């Protein structure tokens, strides 16, 4: 048999299919085996973390329970009440110290906690919270609080005699009894932490896993504490035993393929059949070498002539001089379509937003729109501008503004634009903008205008792509998966023909409510009433239907679904600042000491209500973007505005969402045995006006308020000027501020009774008319 280089090549060509396939199969065996080892290690570590989480929770719970039981026993001793009645402080302290030998401090507080509330910040919101819980539950309570310069275990209880509270006792204990089990836990690559609210009290292990640890948290009964843990999330493929099975199969197949040529007695050369001609067939590589490469796809054409020249390096065409400065407002962009806002302006705004995203290395943006007649045109133009700047656009179509915000989280975009005129008349439209999680306001909005005016706009070499998604079901399922009301409530839902009508009835039904829809068909002309629930006149139809069908409560939403209004069966409008009281008390049950933000238009009762529920109140400027920025700064768990915007960071994402707020409200009301009206009647209430408005020419409201600030004098009042002018007296307050969304001056007055309310209104009337005598005041 003749052996030659040609024969060797022929042999290699004949053997190589088996050899290559065998090597691939053996490589697969190695890969599946490695995945099996990884999966096994992951599962072992997961079981280790789970066991440690349960064990540590048990130990922490034992320590907290022991402290509560010790104080509970001590407060019931006759020796304690006897010593307190005799004003024998050393003897009373001895009783507590004997029961809790590790106590660092023992304090007595009068049941009203008036002195503590006078200087709540110095006293400590956490201490106030645990003392209030002890009063409300009439027993010993424990919580981790900031005291003596650091975290401590605070235990408090009322001391009773014949059912009367003699005093409140507070005991400060070292926190190490709770943190020691965490630090002593055996972990090999996992993470474990003890948390209360959003605070991490102690942690151990790989802290890069902290953000993954909340799933399956183990709560400590009787406290707000929980133990969380996480193991590294390794992609282990198909699971341990499945990986091993595939590894074995690949090993057998691979060995068989490698041995196949020898088993078949592979010949060194192939002979052509008699009478035929041997032809060397080209290999796949040879075939591919003869082929021609496909031409690259042509880029999308740049749609707008105004920026086409820049694609070749030419100087961009200057923008038109008619760009209206007034539409760029304090916390969004909003104008009258056909007058101050058109499709070309929307395109330029889109390109400017895309430029800001480009500067932040952000690329993907979600766009949604409300149901106004102009919104499809505005959204298309906006998307065109975004694409010209290189953005990848996810168009979710018609959606309430909160759903647009949700989509930015759900689709991991980080940026979004809602095309909406909010609660403004039908001829308005605008844009609410979020870039990399930050809602644009103030200087950032001005920067968009300046970029357009100065033509500092980025033009990408290749326009971005557009995809379409519908996240409605995801949004409803996300909320309904967390909230299911305990008893059925009959609810009338009035969407005022706004875009919330697409979702609100479905969402309320999904959480267990019996829903009667009202004006839930989307109609951009708003034929029934204006979609602004802050105006009592817009709630008359809702009150009528609630009473006619015997509903428990009525819910109203604004034009884009980020604001909530509420009425009861009696026809009472529950103002948003009173709703915020209810939300705050609920959130503070799980997050004692948390910061709660409210705007300058809210009642003076709100701050005291937050304090009495163990929270930290903070008044801030009106405006959804301004409130969200302050929430990020302070890590507040909850915020609200008198306009009906509510921002939940606890269990939600921190953006304003009227739909989600409605679900949380029904959750609270359904958990109480009282009727909704009876629940609201328990909240502090004075005498107040709704938001009162004076219409002015565009921009004129700012000039008036500026002059009012310079000249107004209110004797005996504490003046706040963070947003307009608010004058607070011990028995009431009044406010004048310029609206940033419409050309109006906004006023509100609140007092303990009608007589005081009239006094405050008269004081403001005198000062306002002194600035401008021709004003037609609505009060």
8 Å CB contact between 268 and 7: yes
Q: CA 267, CA 15: separation in Å to the nearest integer?
A: 10
Residue count of the chain: 779
Q: Edge-to-edge strand order for the sheet containing 225-230?
A: 199-205, 191-196, 225-230, 218-219
Alpha-carbon distance of 750 to 577, in angstroms, equals 12
CA–CA distance, 422 with 467 (Å, rounded to integer)? 25
Active-site entry in 374, 422, 643, 739: 422
Q: How far apart are CA 232 and CA 451, in angstroms?
A: 44
Spatial separation of the C-alpha atoms in residues 406 and 697, rounded to whole Å: 36
Residue 583's alpha-carbon distances to 477, 604, 606, in angstroms, are 22, 16, 11
Look at residues 745, 740, 711 and name the one whose alpha carbon lies nearest to residue 424: 740
User: Which of 307, 629, 619 is CA-nearest to residue 440?
Assistant: 629
CB 666 within 8 A of CB 513: yes
**CA-angle at 251, arms to 246 and 257, nearest 5°:** 125
Nearest to 419, CA basis, from 542, 334, 534, 508? 334
Residues 6+ apart with CB under 8 A from 96: 71, 74, 80, 103, 106, 169, 171
Strands ordered across the beta sheet of 514-518: 514-518, 490-494, 553-557, 564-568, 573-574
Residue 422 is a catalytic residue: yes
Per DSSP, 586 falls in state H
In 3D, which of 217, 206, 254, 212 has the Cα closest to residue 233?
212
Distance CA 90, CA 78 (A): 15
User: How many of the other CB atoms lie within 10 Å of CB of 512?
Assistant: 18
CA 15 to chain centre: 62
- The secondary structure element, H or E, covering residue 415 is strand 415-419
If 0-12 CB within 10 Å is exposed, 13-18 middle and 19+ buried, where does residue 174 land? middle
Instruction: Yes or no: say if 234 and 36 are a contact pair by the CB < 8 Å rule.
Output: no
Query: Are the CB atoms for 648 and 724 separated by under 8 Å?
Result: no
Give CA separation, 369 vs 405, 479, 501, 531, in Å.
12, 21, 13, 16
For residue 241, how many C-alpha atoms fall within 13 Å in the half-sphere facing its CB?
0
DSSP-derived 3-state class of residue 316: coil
CA atoms within 13 A on the CB side of 254: 16
Catalytic residues: 422
């Amino acid at each position: 048999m003749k052996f030659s280089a040609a024969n060797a090549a022929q042999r290699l060509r004949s053997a190589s299919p088996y050899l290559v396939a065998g090597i691939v199969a053996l490589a697969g065996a190695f890969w599946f085996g490695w995945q099996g080892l990884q999966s096994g290690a992951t599962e072992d570590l997961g079981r280790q973390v789970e066991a440690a989480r349960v064990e540590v929770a048990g130990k922490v719970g034992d320590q907290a329970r022991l402290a509560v039981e010790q104080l509970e026993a001590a407060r019931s001793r006759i020796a304690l009440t006897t010593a307190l009645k005799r004003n024998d402080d050393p003897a009373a302290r001895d009783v507590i110290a004997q029961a809790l030998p590790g106590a660092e401090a023992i304090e007595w507080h009068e049941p009203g906690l008036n002195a503590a509330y006078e200087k709540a910040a110095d006293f400590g919101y956490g201490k106030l919270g645990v003392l209030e819980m002890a009063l409300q539950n009439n027993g010993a309570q424990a919580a981790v609080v900031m005291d003596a310069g650091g975290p401590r275990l605070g235990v408090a209880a009322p001391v009773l005699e014949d059912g009367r509270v003699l005093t409140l006792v507070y005991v400060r204990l070292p926190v190490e009894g709770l943190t020691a089990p965490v630090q002593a836990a055996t972990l090999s690559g996992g993470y474990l932490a003890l948390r209360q609210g959003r605070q991490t009290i102690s942690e151990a292990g790989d802290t890069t896993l902290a953000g993954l640890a909340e799933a399956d948290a183990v709560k400590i009964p009787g406290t707000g504490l929980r133990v969380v843990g996480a193991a590294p999330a390794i992609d282990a493929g198909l699971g341990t035993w499945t990986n091993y099975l595939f590894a074995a199969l690949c090993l057998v197949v691979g060995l068989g393929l490698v041995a196949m040529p020898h088993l078949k007695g592979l010949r060194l050369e192939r002979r052509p059949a008699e009478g035929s001609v041997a032809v060397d067939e080209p290999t796949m590589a040879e075939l591919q070498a003869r082929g021609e490469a496909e031409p690259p796809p042509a880029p999308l054409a740049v749609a707008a002539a105004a920026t086409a020249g820049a694609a070749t390096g030419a100087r961009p065409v200057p923008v038109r001089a008619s760009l209206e400065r007034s539409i760029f407002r304090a916390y969004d962009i909003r104008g009258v379509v056909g007058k101050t806002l058109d499709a070309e302006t929307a395109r330029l705004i889109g390109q400017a937003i895309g430029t800001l995203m480009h500067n932040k290395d952000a690329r993907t943006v979600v766009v949604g729109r409300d149901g106004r007649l102009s919104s499809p045109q505005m959204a298309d133009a906006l998307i065109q501008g975004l694409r010209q700047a290189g953005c990848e656009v996810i168009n979710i179509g018609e959606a309430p503004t909160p759903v647009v915000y949700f989509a930015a989280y759900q689709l991991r975009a980080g940026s979004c634009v809602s095309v909406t005129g909010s609660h403004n008349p039908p001829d308005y439209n605008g844009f609410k903008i979020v870039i990399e999680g930050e809602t644009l306001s103030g200087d950032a909005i001005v920067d968009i205008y300046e970029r357009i005016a100065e033509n500092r706009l980025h033009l990408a070499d290749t326009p971005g792509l557009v995809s379409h998604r519908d996240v409605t079901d995801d949004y409803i399922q996300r909320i309904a998966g967390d909230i299911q009301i305990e008893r059925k409530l009959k609810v009338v839902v009035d969407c005022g023909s706004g875009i919330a009508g697409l979702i609100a009835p479905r969402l309320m039904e999904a959480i267990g409510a019996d829903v009667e829809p009202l004006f839930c068909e989307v109609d951009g002309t708003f034929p029934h009433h204006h979609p602004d629930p802050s105006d009592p006149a817009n709630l008359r139809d809702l009150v009528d239907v609630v009473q006619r069908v015997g509903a428990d409560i009525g819910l109203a939403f604004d034009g884009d679904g980020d604001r909530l209004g509420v009425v009861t069966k009696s026809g009472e409008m529950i103002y948003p600042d009173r709703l915020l009281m209810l939300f705050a008390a609920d959130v503070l049950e799980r997050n004692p000491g948390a910061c709660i933000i409210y705007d300058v238009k809210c009642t003076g009762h709100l701050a005291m209500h937050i304090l009495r529920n163990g929270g930290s109140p903070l008044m801030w400027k009106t405006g959804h973007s301004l409130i969200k920025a302050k929430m990020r700064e302070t890590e507040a768990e909850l915020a609200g505005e008198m306009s009906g915007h509510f921002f939940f960071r606890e269990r939600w994402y921190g953006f304003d969402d009227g739909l989600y707020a409605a679900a949380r409200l029904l959750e609270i009301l359904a958990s109480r045995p009282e009727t909704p009206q009876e629940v609201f009647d328990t909240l502090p209430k004075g005498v107040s006006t709704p938001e009162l408005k004076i219409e002015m020419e565009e921009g004129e409201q700012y000039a008036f308020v500026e002059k009012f600030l310079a000249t107004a004098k209110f004797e005996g009042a504490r003046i706040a000027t963070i947003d307009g002018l608010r004058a607070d007296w011990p028995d009431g307050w009044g406010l004048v501020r310029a609206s940033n969304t419409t050309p109006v001056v906004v006023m509100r007055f609140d007092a303990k009774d009608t007589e005081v309310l009239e006094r405050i209104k008269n004081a403001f009337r005198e000062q306002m008319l002194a600035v401008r005598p021709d004003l037609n005041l609505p009060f």
